Amino acid sequence: MTPRGSGPHDTARHGARTGAQEVAPPGGCPVPYGAGGGGQHRGAERPMLLTDIVSSPDPHLVYRELRDTYGPVAPVELEPGLPAWLVLGYHELLVITRQEQLFSRDPRNWHALREGRIAPESPLMPMMRYHPVCYHEDGAEHRRMRVPFDEGVGRLNERAARRLIEVRCRALVARFSEEGHADLVNDYAALAPMMSLAGLFGLGPAQSEELVRTVLGVVGSNPGSEEAYQTQHRIIGEMIARQRSAPDTDLTWTFAHHPNLVTDEERYAAMHLMLIAGNAPTISWIAQTLRMMITDPRFAARLRGGRLGVDDALDEALWREPPLNAMPARYVLHDIELGGQVLRRGDCLIMGIGAANDDPEIRPDEGEDWGNRAHLAFSAGPHRCPAQLPARLIARTAVRTVLNLLPDLELTVPAEELVPSPSPWTRVPARLPVSFTPRRVPEGPDTGPDGAPSDPVG
């Protein structure tokens, strides 16, 4: 997409829009926000907590207010007293995702972590401490560790995977289809991705449900996050142990045997990442798409007319409600200026994907086609999400399955009551209560011990 022009945040006011420049501290300027002392470059009020921004009723309104106050890079807090920068600008986000020599993915470069200013029990730690995985590496090490993800996803048999996902999703709908009402978040969207993804890893339904609870705990960044992470670690260890001598039939085998993963620690970390990256954001994607399909008159009319418009809703959700509204993180390697702010070595940058998609320089006008892929929902640069294919396959199949099986869905509360669960990263409605005509939905045949109709990897 071609930017429309400089808009209200021009270069003269807020610094370079297309690059980053190393700088010396401006004379007389207060200590930049995030540089150990906790001062800030512009603005006098204490920065907002990231969770309060992402979980607000209208985060886009907050993003616009932050952009008006600070420009395309704004100070925030991850926890009270723990500073970071939120990158709001589309072009600035492209800069930090494409320039590894200036902005690292390795949290060991974060001064707050090095200086012990984050409690070990902080709910941020499962997501933001260093793990030996491509997500937290740069350069050659990132490329080495990335290969198993790309090869594993590339070997997916899409037809078999779709059938597996349909079986798992149909089984979830069958649990509540005869009741005539359900919560499509907690009864369905929160379960469907991991039930499906775990099947691709070779797990049966019971083990899949245990994994569901662990992943939700990890990405929730709440007091139970560390316990959830350790439970997930145990399950992954059991999965890898089973696959040491098993045939090459699923994604677990790929990670257990790939020569680019040279230690058990790397294998564990790779599977943690794949399970989280393919699950937590997809929960949001499914939930937000279902919400749009049911509440937005444009999509609701198609639904009732038998023309579901699922792909249109999926693509629009990536613009309006990206699965990761904010994504951790990049760490500044050199004192630098970006978007008019002076950043210091070791500062933490949060990628404001929802804000960047709403940047007035690039966002579509109302009424324009939202189906283009210029959004940053899957990030950009070398670390662009490796789980896009399974995520889209799961999201599309999950949405279509529930809408096909329950075509007369009606929301049972006013749409304005659909508020998100608190999280610094994702926007998932806390509930999506619906009613429908009760009907019996057969779960469908399971032809394998894990509930999969056929081998999803081939």
Question: What are the tens digits of pLDDT across the range 297-314?
Answer: 887 777 666 666 788 889
Helices (H) and strands (E) in the chain, counts: 18, 10
Chain centroid to CA 191: 16
Q: What CA–CA distance (Å, rounded) separates 293 from 135?
A: 33
At 250 the pLDDT is 78
- Do 250 and 191 sit in the same domain of this protein? yes
Kindly report the length of the chain.
Answer: 458
Regarding beta strands 348-351 and 82-87, do their DSSP bridges make them parallel or antiparallel, or are they unpaired?
Answer: parallel
- Do 207 and 313 sit in the same domain of this protein? yes
Q: What is the mean pLDDT of residues 202-212?
A: 78
At 244 the pLDDT is 54
- Do 201 and 315 sit in the same domain of this protein? yes
The partner residues of 343 in beta bridges, in order of sequence, read 336
At 243 the pLDDT is 62
At 248 the pLDDT is 62
Within a domain: 446: no
Within a domain: 360: no
Q: What CA–CA distance (Å, rounded) separates 364 from 249?
A: 43
More confident residue, 197 or 344: 344
Within a domain: 397: yes
Indicate the pLDDT class of residue 21, thresholds 50, 70 and 90. Answer: low
For 155, other C-beta atoms within 10 Å of its C-beta total 14
- Do 180 and 313 sit in the same domain of this protein? yes
Within a domain: 140: no
Within a domain: 443: no
Q: What is the mean pLDDT of residues 120-133?
A: 88
Reported pTM: 0.83
Within a domain: 173: yes
Residue 217 has pLDDT above 80, yes or no: no
More confident residue, 8 or 75: 75
- Do 299 and 337 sit in the same domain of this protein? no
Q: What is the mean pLDDT of residues 104-116?
A: 95
Mean pLDDT of the chain: 82
Regarding beta strands 348-351 and 327-332, do their DSSP bridges make them parallel or antiparallel, or are they unpaired?
Answer: antiparallel
Q: What is the mean pLDDT of residues 395-421?
A: 94
Exposure on the CB side of residue 249, measured as CA atoms within 13 A = 16
State pLDDT tens for residues 268-289: 899 888 887 778 889 999 999 9
Residue 120 has pLDDT above 90, yes or no: no
Question: Domain count of the chain?
Answer: 2
Q: What CA–CA distance (Å, rounded) separates 404 from 398?
A: 10
Residue 55 has pLDDT above 90, yes or no: yes
- The parent domain of residue 88 ranges over 11-125+332-353
The partner residues of 336 in beta bridges, in order of sequence, read 343
Q: What CA–CA distance (Å, rounded) separates 226 from 166?
A: 32
The partner residues of 332 in beta bridges, in order of sequence, read 103
Q: What CA–CA distance (Å, rounded) separates 123 from 328?
A: 14
Q: What is the mean pLDDT of residues 436-442?
A: 94
Within a domain: 148: no
Contact 253, 246 (CB under 8 A): yes
At 141 the pLDDT is 96
- Do 100 and 30 sit in the same domain of this protein? yes
State pLDDT tens for residues 150-188: 998 888 888 988 999 999 999 999 999 999 999 999 999
Indicate the pLDDT class of residue 197, thresholds 50, 70 and 90. Answer: confident
State pLDDT tens for residues 360-399: 888 766 555 555 667 888 888 888 887 888 889 999 999 9
Query: Contacts for 233-240 with beta carbons within 8 Å, 24 or more apart?
Result: 233/268, 233/272, 235/207, 235/210, 235/211, 236/268, 236/271, 236/272, 236/275, 237/268, 239/201, 239/202, 239/203, 239/271, 240/264, 240/267, 240/268, 240/271
At 36 the pLDDT is 42
Q: Which of 28-37, 98-107, 226-235 has the lowest mean pLDDT?
A: 28-37
- Do 282 and 411 sit in the same domain of this protein? yes
- What b/e sequence results for 6-17 when a residue is b if at least 16 CB atoms lie within 10 Å of its CB, and e otherwise? eeebeeeebbeb
Within a domain: 325: no
- Do 268 and 399 sit in the same domain of this protein? yes
